[in-house]
């Protein structure tokens, strides 16, 4: 998988690209087979929904789980990120978003980049996300919604919902967790969303498990809660340019939320998901 010039242009214009049915069902099954044990671990890497028991997001599975590690180094992910960012890349953040049937809560409208600038010390807007659907995404299970073209707006703090200033949304949580719940520190205000949607509309890419969505770290996105009986598990791998390494910040978030190992990722061969790394490493 290589992005052609037209796709690169469309990404520049719209801030996202959608590719239905890229990974095979066998590859999806292999990844999904790992998810129950990852979600059952008692670890701060599992952020829970408000109900206190369903997993909302798991962080950094690629550092502890061999199959997700192989996904994180898949050439479709790494080589395309290199193309878009024009440099070597490293993984800034790796998450499995559960969006469970009935229990999966909303994500308010937000851009990822303000969080990474303000909380993690990222400097430039040189990061992207690859989302891999591990369940089918339909009209019913809370598809991610994006506002095309909104990545061109560097929303200032004035345009952001001001709850982050008051620290009122979720006072009992540790500060690093506050942008991981359904009440974000850096949500975008309704007025700003109205303006952006007037210009760009809203898209909600839907497709079978194995589909891939590339989106810019500044595109405004969000999703409703999942009141359907269908899970909507997905992986979101955030890749940053090695030339855009994080600066030191006063209270850095945990390494599993914002990675500070800026070594370039070397991609594995294309069959790497189905074939264990040890068997392919001689061919890298």
Report what 46 binds from Fe ion, ligand 6CS, none; CB cut-off 5-8 Å by kind.
none
Binding residues among 74-103 for ligand 6CS as defined by CB under 6 A = 93
**Cβ 186 to Fe ion shortest distance, Å:** 10
Tokens describing residue 259: 């990675």
115, 150, 223, 244: residue in contact with ligand 6CS (rule CB under 6 A): 115
Binding residues among 159-198 for ligand 6CS as defined by CB under 6 A = 179-180, 184
Nearest CB to ligand 6CS, comparing residues 11 and 164: 164
**Is there a contact between 146 and 215 (Cβ–Cβ < 8 Å)?**
yes
Q: d(Cα 254, Cα 43) in Å, to the nearest integer? A: 13
27, 108, 112, 161: residue in contact with Fe ion (rule CB under 5 A): 112
Helix (H) or strand (E) holding 145: strand 145-146
Angle, alpha carbons 39-44-49 (nearest 5°): 60
Selection from 259, 257, 280 nearest residue 268 by Cα: 280
Nearest CB to ligand 6CS, comparing residues 122 and 268: 122
Q: Residue 108, interface with Fe ion (CB under 5 A)?
A: no
Report what 89 binds from ligand 6CS, Fe ion, none; CB cut-off 5-8 Å by kind.
none
**Cβ 184 to ligand 6CS shortest distance, Å:** 5
Nearest CB to ligand 6CS, comparing residues 127 and 268: 127
Tokens describing residue 202: 């809203």
Measured in whole angstroms, the distance separating CA 120 from the mean position of its chain's CA atoms is: 15
Q: d(Cα 155, Cα 139) in Å, to the nearest integer? A: 29
Nearest CB to ligand 6CS, comparing residues 65 and 179: 179
Provide DSSP, 57-90. EEE-GGGT-HHHHHHHT-HHHHHHHHHHHTS-EE
Residues that bind Fe ion (CB under 5 A): 112
Residues that bind ligand 6CS (CB under 6 A): 93, 110, 112, 115, 179-180, 184
């Amino acid at each position: 998988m290589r992005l052609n010039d037209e796709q690169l242009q469309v990404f520049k214009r719209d801030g996202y690209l959608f590719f239905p049915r890229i990974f095979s069902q066998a590859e999806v099954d292999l990844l999904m087979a790992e998810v129950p044990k990852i979600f059952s671990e008692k670890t701060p890497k599992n952020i829970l929904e408000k109900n206190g028991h369903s997993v909302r997001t798991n962080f950094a599975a690629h550092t502890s789980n061999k199959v997700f590690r192989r996904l994180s180094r898949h050439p479709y992910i790494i080589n395309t990120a290199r193309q878009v960012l024009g440099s070597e890349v490293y993984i800034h953040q790796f998450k499995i978003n559960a969006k469970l049937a009935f229990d999966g809560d909303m994500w308010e409208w937000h851009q990822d980049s303000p969080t990474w600038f303000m909380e993690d010390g990222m400097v430039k807007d040189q990061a992207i996300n690859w989302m891999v659907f591990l369940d089918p995404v339909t009209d019913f299970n809370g598809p991610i919604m994006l506002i095309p073209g909104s990545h061109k707006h560097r929303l200032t703090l004035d345009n952001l919902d001001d709850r982050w200033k008051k620290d009122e949304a979720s006072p009992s949580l540790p500060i690093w967790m506050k942008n991981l719940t359904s009440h974000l520190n850096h949500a975008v205000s309704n007025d700003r969303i109205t303006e952006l949607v007037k210009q760009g509309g809203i898209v909600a890419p839907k497709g079978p498990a194995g589909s891939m969505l590339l989106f810019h770290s500044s595109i405004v996105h969000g999703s409703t809660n999942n009141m359907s009986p269908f899970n909507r598990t997905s992986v979101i791998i955030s890749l940053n340019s090695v030339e855009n390494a994080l600066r030191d910040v006063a209270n850095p978030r945990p390494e599993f939320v914002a990675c500070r190992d800026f070594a370039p990722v070397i991609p594995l061969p294309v069959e790497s998901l189905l074939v264990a790394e040890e068997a392919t490493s001689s061919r890298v």
